[in-house]
Amino acid sequence: RLPVPKLEDTITRYLNAQKPLLNDDQFRKTEELARAFEKGIGRELHEQLVAQDNQNKHTSYITGPWFDMYLKAREPVVLNFNAFMSFNPDPKSEYNDQLIRATNMTVSAIRFMKTFRAGFLEPEVFHLNPEKSDTEIFKKIIRFVPSSISWFGAYMVNAYPLDMSQYFRLFNSTRLPKPEKDELYTDEKAKHLLVLRNGNFYVFDILDRDGNMLKPSEIQAHLKYILSDNGPAPAFPLGYLTSENRDTWASLRKSLLENGNEEALQKVDSAMFCLSLDDFPVKDFVHLSHTMLHGDAANRWYDKSFNLIITKDGTAGINFEHSWGDGVAVLRFQNEVFKDSTETPAISPQSQPASVDSSRAVQKLDFKLNDALKAGITKAKQKFDATVESLSLNLIQFQEGGKELLKQKKVSPDAVAQLAFQMAFLRQYDQTVATYESCSTAAFKHGRTETIRPASVHTKKCSEAFVKEPSKHSTEELQNLIVECSKYHGRLTKEAAMGQGFDRHLFSLRYLALSKGLALPDFYQDQAYARLNHNIISTSTLVSPAVQLGGFGPVVADGFGVGYQVQDDWIGCNVSAYPARNGKEFLECIYKSLEDIFSVLKGKKISS
């Protein structure tokens, strides 16, 4: 179970995170408020939270508040919450044809779904000592241990089974807009796939009456039929509505239902998933990021648990809605789909589509729109286009080293990437700001994420030495500062992964106070608390053989969204920003910071 941290630990960790962001007077005030909270109302709330947690052993203390946080948010899901991960191309280039890849990936996705629902999907396990535990012999033995104690057997060899309770929401699921708080809807009985192309909606049954998948050649035939439909794009594409403010969308959805679209919307909401087929090739990585992060809203349904997007040249990616689950569930799905569709593809470039009557099997959905709905779609499109227009996405690949070199030098690769972000921001804006790095707590029942706070007194000191006065320090002193940052970041990461951060705990205490109708404690009204939760640098990392790159929008208007990966011999960064910040310049500063860090680690002087 996810532990509720001790209140005194949470307050200490909170103050450690505040220290680099405040001057001495501000810090003194924040410390006084924190200590008063710890002794007074905070203690009472903490005891209530622990008691509540003990009565709800079937779940975790963060589950309710976290779902509420997502589902009560009224901002559009696209750019604010949805993230993307794009697939690597198929190693066999002739398989990167849109129809072939769409067929193979759809088949692999359904295979994954069927394996999961039958209870045969291999458990997700984090192996601290893979030589011992990630072996056939261990898997054979543990299989026969009753599930009530098998996790204990796994712990004995440092293998940690991860929570998989989110996985069922991958399929047949949608976030439904409702006034004030959305709902998650899942209908596992539905057997059809939703396909979007050119703003048109198509559905066809992908499972038969007995739950068996259609032959791959039939799926290929249906997708070919959809790709060759020359009908016009709708004048008022419905997809734009899912990019709206959630209350606005909720009332428009009500109008849609009242206007005779119940059956069509039911088909959209209950579909296995949404396959979005785009009619253009991808030009470069920036174009790829824009396509997968938001694309053209006419050809997306952002409320589906995920959209599998495949462009004209077979480039594929996933855009996923975030309330139902976190990156770990989506990444497992992506890894399996990539492996299965590339190693055992269902069809080949030589395969012929089945001779079936697709015009009967495939249904094109028709939506009845009145003037108010048409006006709603037009307005949504204007807002969406303006927001997307203002978003910049930029990428770099740092080729002078990566994980291998950093491990040789005994520093944490993740700590170095995070240090580079701190240095870059200091170089660009001459300040240290609230920074967020997400960390999965899936090692616990119904765990979600915890925050790592990468901006510390250590990164601030190190960044200032590198950026402001490198000539005053010897290479050895600079190396020691990097090592100091690495050790501290390693500690924060370990604490977060073990459910010992402070963010979720403080969030839950605040949620509890408000749900009890109490006045918001002074601690939460401190400007410093608000500033720490205004995450100007929001970061997330993943490395996977299936994924080319990933990214997300800034979480605040004056922020950066940083998706990054540290590979064996290179480091990649994908930065999103709105006009309040210059993402291109930030990336140049990250590049310079990485150059400096790697130079120092190799024992060289920093070039000015």
Residue 75 near residue 243, CB atoms below 8 Å: no
Q: How far apart are CA 105 and CA 114, in angstroms?
A: 14
Residue 393 near residue 287, CB atoms below 8 Å: no
Q: Which residues pair with 566 in a beta bridge?
A: 571
- The residue with tokens 């749900």 is 515
Q: How far apart are CA 231 and CA 304, in angstroms?
A: 25
SS3 108: helix
Helix (H) or strand (E) holding 17: helix 7-18
Crossing angle of the two packed helices 475-497 and 457-468, in degrees rounded to 10: 150
- The residue with tokens 């959305």 is 182
Contacts of 215 (CB under 8 A, 6+ apart): 354
Residue 108 near residue 346, CB atoms below 8 Å: yes
Crossing angle of the two packed helices 246-258 and 371-390, in degrees rounded to 10: 150
> Residue 414 burial (CB < 10 Å; 0-12/13-18/19+)?
buried
- The residue with tokens 């450690």 is 16
Active site residues: 322
Residue 171 near residue 272, CB atoms below 8 Å: yes
What is the DSSP-derived secondary structure letter of residue 162?
A: P
| Residue type present at position 197 | R
First-to-last C-alpha distance (Å) of the chain:
50
Q: How far apart are CA 401 and CA 566, in angstroms?
A: 9
The dihedrals phi and psi of 323, each to the nearest 5 degrees, come to -65, -40
Residue 79 near residue 390, CB atoms below 8 Å: no
Nearest 10 degrees: CA dihedral of 527, 65, 383, 179?
-120
Candidates 339, 172, 400; CA nearest to 266 is 172
Residue 278 near residue 311, CB atoms below 8 Å: yes
- The residue with tokens 């991960």 is 85
**27-36, long-range: CB < 8 A, 24+ apart:** 29/526, 29/528, 30/526, 30/528, 30/529, 33/522, 33/523, 33/526, 34/523, 35/11, 36/522, 36/523
Candidates 440, 445, 441; CA nearest to 147 is 445
The total number of residues written for the chain in this structure: 608
Radius of gyration in angstroms for the set of CA atoms belonging to the chain, rounded to a whole number = 25
Q: Give strand ranges (E) for 321-362.
A: none
Q: How far apart are CA 289 and CA 243, in angstroms?
A: 17
What is the DSSP-derived secondary structure letter of residue 82?
A: -
